[in-house]
Each structure stands twice: as structure tokens, then as C-alpha cells.
């Protein structure tokens, strides 16, 4: 038997994947749209008859140099015959013509990224037959011009703008603003002009053979899988490029047949907030593209209850049925043809981060899904959105009082965005690559704009509704967006827009609030968000029930620690003491400590730093009462605390020139030269060819023991002080950059002695640990020896990645690394996600060896990887105890750790 390429909607159960009970495989075979059309047909939802050409057919077509695989076209014709039997109509028959649509449908939803052609089968003969059948010449001529326009732009790559110019000309001649007000004569004339445009652009007459129309449309949809906009979208959404798209051929039903007809797109719940009510856009006497293209001002879908109450009641029942069937919020398309409701599509709805969290929690509380499913449905990226900046309330109020509130539109994708105006996608992308923050402003967005939308900080349109292309893409990628701002007038030729008395040029700053829908002139200040959303808190509490990995935070100051604890951190995994040294009142002591040749002066400088460090640590211990706090001793090389050598050379040269030319006080200049020369001499004395592999970390502690002793004294004086206050304190001292066990043996012995001495002086004991960072391959390979002394390991994965790969991160990310990733030499940036092969193997060796020596060894990770979901999954598999990350990544890490545990289960 030849391969089955084509499936009628009522043949879904014939697919082997369906028989195997694997619905994901059915979606992979037929695409999400085709699978769901078949499924809706199966459960009795009113779906116009049709069939799907499989994704396998698409891949075979593309692999064969854009030729249909053997037998596919014959199967498509046979399926068309079956549809003719079901509808009682015949394709190409002038007396009772069957018209069909041709739509894409990949496994994963890609709204607007591939092609659609409607009204296939219309030609001069069938147009006359349709007029006689319907008695509505206006509807038929409108349908025919749509076919010519869509066929031209989609199948033959004709620029859409000339078609739109013809439409605008007829609207102006009639003095109307809506296509719905044009007459049958208008549409007939427009269709004829469209045919002329088609021939001028392609050199061909518009094809009148319905079968030729269908064949070319099918090919166009297959080809659109490899179109730029689809390719860019898949890259951004992480969708594989080898899945292919299905082609869905479906009987046309018409929402533009006058009274009792309409069309719409809706979500079974609010896609912006997650509230449990149907939300969407709807138009009377229109076809589907009128709703999503943003060309006409839509009504809220709930108005259908007034216009067509019986159809609305049926629609509400079907929406509820579909949501319960798929156990997920649905995005549906529908058409009402002369009071008969038809469902054209259902798919899991795109939604904002806030809506995703609320819907998952609400559906769990409703008993529709389990807590585990709720935790798995929300992505770490969606949790991250709750931590994005929002506009400061006072700043918004001030902007409004200053007259900078320009307009308000539909709040379709929340969040604050500030950027310069770019009026087209190419410019938005180019400016973003230059590092500019951009707001892309368009009358309405189209699929070809997706690359600019992905690059922009925010999206603003003058047309479109809650289910418009701009709204769908913005929600998909968490980009703040405001649409349908009718008060804005865009002059594309002049590269400017105006509202009220304000004129905004391309490149001017604006601010948009996708949460409210407001648009401001200029830059509005943003603030750190409040994540006390009750649905998010509930979801994260469920995540905590399932995760095995603990989540700690990297924090250098008490306010960071307090925020981390508020966000759910159960400890501090990294306090970088050197950050404290850069503060203005401390840096002079640090520099004096480095520059002096006198041991006595060095000791005085170190002693002067002690009270500062003690105060820092006491604040951290109070903030983390009852939880562990890991404090890393000084790590970077000393040159980082001194002026740069090149800067000193320049400053000395400038002072000498000034002295030679008499430009300035001679005595002051001589003193400056002498001071800078002394500093330069010391900078050159401690200069290292590769300081990141030089005297730093444990090596610096051994070479300058008074410095790390001071730090340990400060830690334990602070711990004893707050313990006397009743604080439950758990200090853990981390020695960085160990490569040989003897380094740790020597340094730890001296520091432990200091800690014991402090506790004796204070007359109180506190529980403590000493441990080390594993950031050198040799340390990982000799972890059994190191664990004889270290009570905990913390992987410093940034340095461990550098030393394992033998590359400098700063140099690599500005140089070859990006090329490596683009060329596929490396699958991804190893500084963004832990290398799943080499580094993971090295970490696994360290964990295994370390726990052979010390079974209760505490092991964690404290680099930036600690907040990366992919890396967290690796840490779970390696059986680490915790991950530590930025306070703002803590909620993300909590969810990612739970998902790692559930996936493992």
C-alpha cells in the first residue's frame, strides 16, 4: 500500500499514532490545526468538512525539490471528492460550486507565520452560479476579489500594498471608512482591477481552473514553512525546523453573507489576565481575516449575545466543551453563516505570563488539572516576566500631569517598555542590534514584521484588537504591547506620528504600559516589581512541594538578602566580599593595603576594614535568621582595586605636558606626577600576564594571610554578635580557587584557628562550616582529597567553564564564540547553560569523589548558571543540594527545580 499522505477530518482515528494513543504524534503528523479539526469532528462539534495533507507530505515535498510526493495529489483529489459528497456541492461546478480554504497548521502554533488562501474555486463561471444561488452579488464579488488578492500575495508573491491602495481609493470615492459600506458594483470593479494588478505583477492571467488554484495554494503553504518570518519565529520560540506544516483544505463557510452572518476569534478565558470569561473580537458581515488583520474596528465577542443570541448560547456551550475536552484554555475561530455556527479552529491559546499562572492555578482549583500539571504548564520564562520592571506610579502620575500621556489603547500584553520609535521591522531590528531600546510602531503588524517585533522592547499599533497578529505575537514572547490606539496618526512617508498637538519623530523616546494600555511621550521611570501575585505565590508553593533541590541566593548586602528571602530563597549561596571593598569610604584603605611597602601600614589598613566587614556580615545574618549564609573570601586579583595602568600613563603624560607648558600650579603638578608614578610602579610590580589565573583566591589568602584572617574575624565577630541577639546564625566560609588540597589545608587551618579564637573571645559558640569553590578542573578530579578538609563544595561554574574550555569568557563572547554558535560548532553558549557533556561529566566526578570521602558533603552551585532552567535540571540529575542565583531569579529557580524533579519522576 502506498503511503497515506491525506486524511479526511473524520479519518483521524485511522492514523497509527491515534491507534497508539499518542496524541502528540497525531499533532506531529497532521499539525495542531488538522489534528484538532479532526478531533472536534470526532466529538460532534460543528466543523465544515475537509481534509489535511500531512506534515510528512510537506517534508517530502521540500526534500524532493518542491515536488509533490508520489500519490499525494491523487489522494488530495479523492479527499476533495469525499468532501463533495458530504456537502452536496461540486468543486468547479457553476450551478452549485464547492469553495474551499487552504490553511497551514504545524505541530506547534505559529500564528500568522505561514500562508492562507480563502475562496478557492471561484472563477467567472462559479461567481455567476454563486450569485444565482445566494441572490447576493455583493457578497460574491467581495469573496472573489479576496481570492484574487490573497492568491496574488500568498501564492505569487505580489506586493499587497497596491491591492490596499485600490481598496482605499474606492472607500474614499464612496466617502466611507469601512469595506462593509462598499456596494456590489464597487466589489465587481475592484475584482476587475485586482485581476489587472495580478497580470501586471506576474505576467500571467489569474488562473480560472479551480484545480490549478488548489494545487498552487497547497504548494504555497508547503513552501511557507521555509519562509523568513516562519524561520525567525521558530528560532525565537525554540521550535524545530524539521517538523513541517500540514495543509488543511476545508469547505468555505461565509460570515459576509449579510444579516445573520459574522465571524470571530475568541479565547475561552481572558488571555491577558486569565479571568474566567470568554474574550475576543467579532464582526458582523465579515470574513475571518477582517478580524485578525486589524483593518476594521472589531466588537467585543460578547456583543454577539445581543446580535445573535441563539448562536452565542451555542458558542458558549461549545467553548466550555472544548476547554474541558482539552483541559486547557482554547483559542477558537468561528463563523456564523446565515445563523448557522461553524467552528473553524481550536488550539491552546497564547497568553500572557500573568494569565498562564492564573489559568493553571484556577483550572487546578476547578479540578480540571492536577497540581503537578499546573507546575509543569507554567514556564520559567513566564515566571521571569513577573520580575520585569513596571512603571513607577509616581512617575506615571507626573508624566500625566505634564501632559505626556498621549493616548490609551488596548492592553494586550502587560509590562513596561521604554524605547525610541521605529516605524518598520527592519529598522527596529537594526537599531536593536546596535544596542538601542526600540518601540516598534505600526498601523498594524503583519507576519512579515515578526523579526522587528522580536527585537523590540515593546509594540504599538493604531489598529487591531485583542486577537490581532500584534497581540498574539506579543503575548507569545512576553513583549509589552498596546494595540488599537486610534488616536495616533502615523505618517509613514514622513516617518512621524501625531496625536493631539504632539508630533513624534522616528527616533524619539516613548513609553508604553501594556498592563494598562497607556502611551507616554518620553521616558517614564521603571521600578522593581512586586511579585506578591496570589496565583503566582500559590503556584510556587506547589512547586516547593515537588522540588528536591533547595534554592539559595547570591547576595552581598542585607537588602539583597531580604529580597531573596521574600522571593523564597532558603539560604545565601554566595556573598562576594570584594564587592564591599569598592565602596567609596573603603577603597582608600584597600588601595593603601596594596600599595604600601610597610607591614605596619598594611596591618593598619586591614584593621580599618574590619568594622565595615563585620557590619556587612551582621546585616546578612540578621536578614537570613535561621538559614545558612556562605561568605566567599576575597577572590579577584589585587589589580582590580587599583587604577588601570593605561589610565595612569595617560594622566602622568598630561600632567608632565601641563608642567612643561606652564599650564597650572607647578608644585601641585609635581606632586601629582610623583603620586601617580608611585602608584604606577606598584601596578607594574603586581602586574600579571594572565591575572585571572594568577595571584587570586586561596593563593592571595596564603600570600597575604592578614587579609583573609581579618575577613574570618569579621565573619565570626558578626556571627557571635547577632547570636547574642537571639538570631539563629549559620555562617559558612568559602575559600575560592582551590586547585590542590595542600592550599586548602594550609589556608583553612589558619582561618579555623582565627574563628575559634574569636568565639573564645566572645564567650559564645556558633555552628559553622568551612568549604571551597570547585572552579579548577584539577580540584574536581581530586575532590576526594579536597573533601578531607572541605565540609562543602560550591561549583563556580563560570570559572570552571573557562578553565575547562581554556577560553576567556569576555574575549570569547566578543569574538569567536558567537560564530561558533551560529555555525553549529557549539550547540549553545556554555556560559548561559552548563555544558551538558564535558562540564557536567567533570561536576559529576567531583560530586561522586567528594561524597566518597565525606558522605554528608553539602554541594551546590553559585554561578550565573544557578538561575538557568537547563542548568538547574543538570544540577538535579547530579544530586546537588542547592542552586544559588540572583534574588530576581529565585522564583524561576524554584519552578525550574520542581519541573526537573517532576520530569525525573
Distance between CA 472 and CA 467 in Å, rounded?
6
Which strand ranges, in their side-by-side order, compose the sheet holding 6-8? 6-8, 50-53, 245-251, 100-106, 116-120
CA dihedral angle for residue 104, residue 108, residue 112, residue 117, rounded to 10 degrees = 10
C-alpha cell at 399: 508624566
Measured CA to CA, the distance from residue 658 to residue 662 in angstroms comes to 6
Return the half-sphere exposure (C-beta side, CA atoms, 13 A cut-off) of residue 351.
Answer: 31
Provide the grid cell at 903: 520530569
Bridge partners (DSSP) listed for residue 101: 250
Residue 889: which residues within 8 A CB-CB, separation 6 or more?
384, 866, 867
* C-alpha span between 403 and 398 (Å, rounded): 9
Burial class (CB in 10 A: 0-12, 13-18, 19+), 496: middle
SS (H, E, C) 62-126: HHCCCCCCCCHHHHHHHHHHHHHHHHCCEECCCCCEECEEEEEEECCCCCCCCCEEEEECCCHHH
Q: In Å, what is the CA distance from 38 to each residue of 14, 18, 44, 214?
A: 11, 11, 10, 21
Cell numbers that stand for 398 in this block: 507626573
Q: Which residues of 864-880 are buried (b: 16+ CB within 10 A; e: fewer)?
A: bbbbbbebbbbbbebeb
The total of other beta-carbon atoms located within 10 Å of residue 760's CB is: 10
Q: What is the DSSP annotation of 344-375?
A: EEEEEPP--HHHHHHHHHHHHHTTSS-HHHHH
Contact 334, 264 (CB under 8 A): yes
**Strand ranges in 609-760 using DSSP code E only, listed in sequence order:** 628-632, 730-735
| All three cell numbers of 48 | 465544515
Cell of 111: 500564528
Beta bridge partners of 734: 632, 771
3-state secondary structure of 636: coil
* 118 phi, psi to nearest 5 deg: -110, 160
Q: How far apart are CA 332 and CA 342, in angstroms?
A: 11
- Tell how strand 100-106 and strand 245-251 pair up: antiparallel
* Letter string b/e over residues 165-179, b meaning 16 or more CB atoms within 10 A of that residue's CB: ebbeebbeeeeeeeb
- Which residues participate in catalysis according to the annotation? 469, 862
Query: DSSP label at 826?
Result: S
CA atoms of 332 and 271, how far apart (whole Å):
12
| Residues recorded for the chain | 905
Nearest of 100, 96, 193 to residue 152 by alpha carbon: 193
Direct distance between the N- and C-terminal alpha carbons of the chain, in angstroms, rounded to an integer:
41
DSSP one-letter string for 564-612: HHHTT--SEEEEEHHHHHTSTTTHHHHHHHHH---HHHHHHHHHHHHHH
Q: How far is Cα 459 from Cα 441, in angstroms, rounded to an integer? A: 6
Sequence-distant (6+) residues with CB within 8 A of 268 are 278, 319, 320, 322, 323, 329, 330, 332, 349
Instruction: Give the C-alpha separation, 705 to 713, whole Å.
Output: 12
8 A C-beta contact, residue 425 and residue 492: no
Amino acid at each position: 500500500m502506498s503511503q497515506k499522505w491525506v486524511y479526511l477530518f473524520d479519518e483521524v482515528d485511522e492514523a497509527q499514532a491515534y491507534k497508539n494513543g499518542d496524541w502528540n504524534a497525531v499533532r506531529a503528523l497532521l499539525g495542531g490545526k488538522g489534528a484538532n479539526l479532526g478531533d472536534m469532528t470526532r466529538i460532534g462539534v460543528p466543523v465544515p468538512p475537509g481534509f489535511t495533507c500531512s506534515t510528512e507530505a510537506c517534508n517530502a515535498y521540500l526534500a524532493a525539490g518542491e515536488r509533490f510526493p508520489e500519490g499525494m495529489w491523487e489522494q488530495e483529489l479523492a479527499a476533495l471528492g469525499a468532501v463533495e459528497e458530504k456537502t452536496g456541492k461540486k468543486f468547479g461546478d457553476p450551478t452549485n460550486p464547492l469553495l474551499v480554504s487552504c490553511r497551514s497548521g504545524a505541530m506547534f502554533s505559529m500564528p500568522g507565520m505561514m500562508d492562507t488562501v480563502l475562496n478557492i474555486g471561484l472563477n467567472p463561471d462559479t461567481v455567476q452560479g454563486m450569485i444565482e444561488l445566494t441572490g447576493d452579488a455583493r457578497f460574491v464579488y467581495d469573496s472573489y476579489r479576496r481570492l484574487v488578492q490573497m492568491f496574488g500575495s500568498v501564492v505569487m508573491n505580489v506586493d499587497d500594498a497596491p491591492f490596499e491602495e485600490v481598496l482605499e481609493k474606492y472607500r474614499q470615492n464612496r466617502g466611507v471608512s469601512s469595506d462593509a459600506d462598499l456596494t456590489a458594483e464597487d466589489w465587481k470593479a475592484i475584482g476587475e482591477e485586482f485581476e489587472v494588478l495580478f497580470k501586471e505583477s506576474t505576467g500571467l492571467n489569474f488562473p480560472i481552473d479551480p484545480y490549478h488554484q488548489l494545487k498552487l495554494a497547497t504548494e504555497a503553504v508547503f513552501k511557507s514553512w521555509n519562509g523568513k518570518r516562519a524561520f525567525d519565529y521558530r528560532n525565537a520560540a525554540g521550535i524545530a525546523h524539521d517538523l513541517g506544516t500540514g495543509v488543511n483544505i476545508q469547505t468555505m463557510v461565509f460570515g459576509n453573507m449579510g444579516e445573520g452572518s459574522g465571524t470571530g476569534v475568541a479565547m475561552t478565558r481572558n488571555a491577558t489576565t486569565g479571568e474566567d470569561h470568554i474574550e475576543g473580537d467579532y464582526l458582523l458581515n465579515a470574513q475571518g481575516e477582517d478580524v485578525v488583520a486589524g483593518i476594521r474596528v472589531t466588537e467585543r465577542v460578547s456583543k454577539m449575545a445581543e446580535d445573535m443570541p441563539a448562536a452565542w448560547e451555542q458558542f458558549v456551550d461549545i467553548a466550555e466543551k472544548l476547554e474541558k475536552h482539552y483541559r486547557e484554555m482554547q483559542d477558537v475561530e468561528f463563523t456564523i453563516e446565515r445563523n448557522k455556527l461553524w467552528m473553524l479552529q481550536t488550539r491552546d491559546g497564547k497568553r500572557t505570563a500573568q494569565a498562564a499562572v492564573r489559568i493553571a492555578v484556577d483550572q487546578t482549583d476547578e479540578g480540571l488539572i492536577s497540581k503537578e500539571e499546573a507546575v509543569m504548564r507554567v514556564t520559567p520564562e513566564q515566571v521571569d516576566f513577573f520580575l520585569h520592571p513596571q512603571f513607577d506610579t509616581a512617575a506615571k502620575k507626573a508624566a500625566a500631569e505634564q501632559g505626556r500621556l498621549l493616548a490609551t489603547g488596548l492592553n494586550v500584553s502587560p509590562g513596561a517598555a521604554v524605547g525610541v520609535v521605529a516605524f518598520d521591522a527592519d529598522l527596529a531590528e537594526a537599531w536593536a542590534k546596535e544596542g538601542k531600546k526600540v518601540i516598534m510602531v505600526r498601523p498594524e503588524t503583519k507576519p512579515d514584521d515578526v523579526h522587528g517585533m522580536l527585537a523590540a522592547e515593546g509594540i504599538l499599533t493604531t489598529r487591531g484588537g485583542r486577537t490581532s497578529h500584534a497581540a498574539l505575537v506579543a503575548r507569545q514572547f512576553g513583549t509589552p504591547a498596546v494595540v488599537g490606539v486610534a488616536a495616533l496618526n502615523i505618517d509613514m512617508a514622513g516617518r512621524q506620528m501625531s496625536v493631539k498637538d504632539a508630533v513624534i519623530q522616528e527616533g524619539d523616546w516613548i513609553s508604553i504600559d501594556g498592563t494598562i494600555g497607556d502611551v507616554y511621550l518620553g521616558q517614564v521611570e521603571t521600578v522593581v516589581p512586586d511579585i506578591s501575585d496570589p496565583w503566582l505565590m500559590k503556584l510556587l508553593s506547589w512547586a516547593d512541594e515537588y522540588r528536591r533541590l533547595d534554592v539559595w541566593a547570591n547576595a552581598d548586602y542585607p537588602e539583597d538578602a531580604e529580597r531573596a528571602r521574600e522571593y523564597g530563597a532558603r539560604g545565601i549561596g554566595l556573598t562576594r566580599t570584594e564587592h564591599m571593598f569598592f565602596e567609596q569610604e573603603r577603597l582608600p584603605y584597600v588601595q593603601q593595603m596594596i600599595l604600601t611597602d610597610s607591614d605596619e601600614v598594611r596591618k593598619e589598613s586591614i584593621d580599618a576594614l574590619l568594622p565595615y566587614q563585620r557590619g556587612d556580615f551582621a546585616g546578612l545574618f540578621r536578614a537570613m535568621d535561621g538559614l545558612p549564609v556562605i561568605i566567599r573570601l576575597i577572590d579577584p586579583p589585587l589589580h582590580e582595586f587599583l587604577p588601570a595602568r593605561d589610565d595612569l600613563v595617560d594622566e602622568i603624560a598630561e600632567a608632565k605636558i601641563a608642567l612643561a607648558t606652564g599650564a597650572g600650579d607647578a608644585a601641585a603638578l609635581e606632586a601629582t606626577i610623583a603620586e601617580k608614578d608611585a602608584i604606577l610602579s606598584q601596578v607594574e610590580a603586581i602586574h600579571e600576564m594572565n591575572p585571572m589565573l594568577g595571584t587570586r583566591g586561596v593563593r592571595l589568602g596564603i600570600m597575604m594571610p592578614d587579609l583573609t584572617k581579618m575577613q574570618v574575624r569579621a565573619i565570626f565577630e558578626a556571627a557571635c554578635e547577632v547570636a547574642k541577639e537571639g538570631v539563629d546564625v549559620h555562617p559558612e566560609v568559602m575559600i575560592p580557587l582551590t586547585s590542590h588540597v595542600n592550599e586548602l589545608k594550609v589556608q583553612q587551618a589558619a582561618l579555623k584557628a582565627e574563628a575559634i579564637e574569636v568565639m573564645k573571645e566572645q564567650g559564645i559558640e556558633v555552628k559553622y562550616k568551612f568549604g571551597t569553590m570547585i572552579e579548577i578542573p584539577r580540584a574536581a578530579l581530586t575532590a576526594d582529597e579536597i573533601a578531607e578538609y572541605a565540609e562543602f563544595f560550591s561549583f563556580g561554574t563560570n570559572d570552571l567553564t573557562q578553565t575547562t574550555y581554556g577560553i576567556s569568557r569576555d574575549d570569547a563572547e566578543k569574538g569567536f564564540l558567537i560564530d561558533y554558535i551560529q555555525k553549529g560548532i557549539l550547540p549553545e553558549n556554555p556560559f548561559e547553560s552548563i555544558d551538558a557533556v564535558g562540564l557536567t561529566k567533570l561536576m559529576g566526578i567531583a560530586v561522586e569523589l567528594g561524597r566518597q570521602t565525606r558522605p554528608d558533603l553539602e554541594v551546590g552551585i553559585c554561578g550565573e548558571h544557578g538561575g538557568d532552567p537547563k542548568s538547574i535540571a543538570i544540577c538535579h540529575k547530579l544530586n546537588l543540594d542547592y542552586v544559588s542565583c540572583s534574588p530576581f531569579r529565585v522564583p524561576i529557580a524554584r519552578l525550574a527545580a520542581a519541573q526537573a524533579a517532576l520530569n525525573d519522576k
